[in-house]
Chain A
Amino acid sequence: MSEVASLNAVEVAYPGRGTVLGPFDLALPEGEIVALVGPSGCGKSTALRLLAGLEQPTAGTVTRTPERGQTAVVFQAPTLMPWADATTNVALPLELAGMAKAKAQDQAREALKAVGLENAIGSKPAQLSGGMAMRVSLARALVTRPRLLLLDEPFAALDEITRRNLADDIHRLWDQTRPAVVFVTHNVEEAAYMAQRVVVMSANPGKIAGQTTIEAPLPRPPGFRTSEVFRNAAEDVSRDLAKAMGHIQ
């Protein structure tokens, strides 16, 4: 399978902070969902910014095949424009790419329907719940049909029920166009549920501490959370994480 993007022995150093990431390798085949798990400050967001092309590494190389507009990012906060309604927020990437406003707004409304927000089309961010705002953010990421989707702790501020619903929604939407996905999380179970491959990172500087592949269909079948496969995967990831944090030498 061909790669959508990859980090090859990348290192990132910040002035006065030293090397925070690397050497670090990560290859993203087409259509794969990879979860990145690791302690706070280990460089997960930094790795995501490299993959998005928003930042350059101090050493090593980044290869990216998506063209402009084919990479989408969802941040921890919904990151919506508070002055614009949901439709205008979702239409933004299309309009910035030069699409006519009416057409962009039509497609934005379609994208909002796809995430179950047909009733929030004219609502402003302040009128939405946390979960709804995150869905708007997801719709904005998907409206351009990206080949690379980068999710930086998108569920961090949400309750458990909303998280589970959104997890299944992301799988359903992913299944329509099958972009390569990187999903950053602090939650071991969430990583094992979301991804085909979980990469665990250690900190200072951020490096790969372990990888777990999960052999199970995507989207997840009903009852997957209580299955043997899921529990084993979560245990493996947990062990990697404990190692990464130095609890087991």
Chain B
Amino acid sequence: MSRTLETLAPILLVAVLLGLWETACRLTGVPAYFLPAPSAVAAAMAQDWALLLGSAWKTLSTALLALAFASLIACSLALIISTNRLLEKAVQPLAVALQVTPVVAIAPQVVIWAGLAHPDRAIISLAVIVAFFPIFSGALTGLKSTDPDLERLFDLYGATPWQKLQRLRIPSATPFILEGHKVAGGLAVIGAVVAEFVAGSGGSQGLAWRILESSNRLQTAKTFAAVIVLSLMGALLHAVLQASEQAILRRFRGR
């Protein structure tokens, strides 16, 4: 009983809020470019669904590709750096400096470097940059978080550095690396959207472009529709990554 209530509660809340919003719009007669009624947003969504889905796929595939690239680069770099303390110390401040720099701040320059004719390249690069750090720091932390007694045990039995890496460090790091990918997935979407905004050209055709285009034309209902599709997509990606993480960890630990 309470379980059903708990599932229904958020749906009910959204329904009530939407109802209030709709009523308020109708009663006050606020102009649609300022605040469209939920029904208008729904209508915009129904009308443009093919276009919106196409754009969502464009943004999502960019984010996924960026996630794959970021994963490859971050994991390899973490592996190399974890083998050498001095290297790690050398890289750390640089990594932190890059990490705290907002992606919007470097986006215009990346767009120029990628070539104004290739907004796609700039968008992918920026999404890779933001997705890189959580995976990198997760992998690096994980590679160093091995149980010191297990390390001693490997030493006692004369394990080679390669055996230690393969049979101890990498498995120990796996939960951290998975967590890093989950965070990075969400960031890759944000990175892709921010980059699309900065690139600001119709060349990209992602969800950010749909938002830019409709808001420039004061088609606010369409803007809302695109934003809703964007957040639904982000939530879906997060849910998928979360479920995969849980599933892999359950297999990994046996429960």
> Which A positions have Cβ atoms within 8 angstroms of B?
49, 52-54, 68-69, 71-73, 75, 77, 79, 81-85, 92-93, 96-97, 123-127, 144
Contacts and interface: CB of A to CB of B under 8 A. Distances in A.
A173 to B, nearest CB: 19
A96 B157 contact: yes
Contacts of A54: 152, 155-156
A191 B32 CA distance: 84
Contact of A81 (B152, B158, B168): B168
A81 B168 CA distance: 8
Contact of A126 (B154, B168, B174, B255): B255
Contacts of B154: 96
28 contacts: A49-B152, A52-B152, A54-B152, A54-B155, A54-B156, A72-B156, A73-B156, A75-B149, A77-B149, A79-B147, A79-B149, A79-B153, A81-B167, A81-B168, A81-B171, A82-B253, A84-B171, A92-B157, A92-B167, A96-B157, A96-B159, A97-B157, A97-B158, A123-B254, A124-B253, A125-B254, A126-B254, A127-B255
Interface residues of B, number: 20
Contacts of A127: 254-255
A96 B149 contact: no
Contacts of A72: 156
B254 A85 contact: yes
A77 B254 CA distance: 19
Interface of B is mostly: helix
A144 B156 CA distance: 12
A81 B150 contact: yes
A213 to B, nearest CB: 29
B158 A124 contact: no
B252 interface: yes
Contacts of A92: 153, 157, 167
A53 B153 CA distance: 11
A73 B152 CA distance: 9
Contacts of A85: 254
Contacts of A84: 171
A68 B158 contact: yes
Contacts of A124: 253-255
B3 to A, nearest CB: 27
Contacts of B159: 96
Contact of A68 (B150, B157, B167, B171): B157
A84 B171 CA distance: 9
Contacts of B171: 81, 83-84
Interface in B58-106: none
A144 B158 CA distance: 13
Contacts of A52: 152, 156
A79 B253 contact: no
A24 B181 CA distance: 51
Contacts of A93: 157
Interface in B122-169: 147, 149-150, 152-159, 163, 167-168
Nearest to A96: B157
Contact of A83 (B156, B157, B158, B252): B252
Contacts of B156: 52-54, 71-73
Contacts of A144: 157
Given A54-B155, A82-B252, 9 more contacts: A68-B157, A68-B158, A69-B158, A73-B152, A81-B150, A92-B157, A96-B158, A96-B163, A127-B254
A67 B199 CA distance: 65
Contacts of B149: 75, 77, 79
Contacts of B155: 54
A18 to B, nearest CB: 22
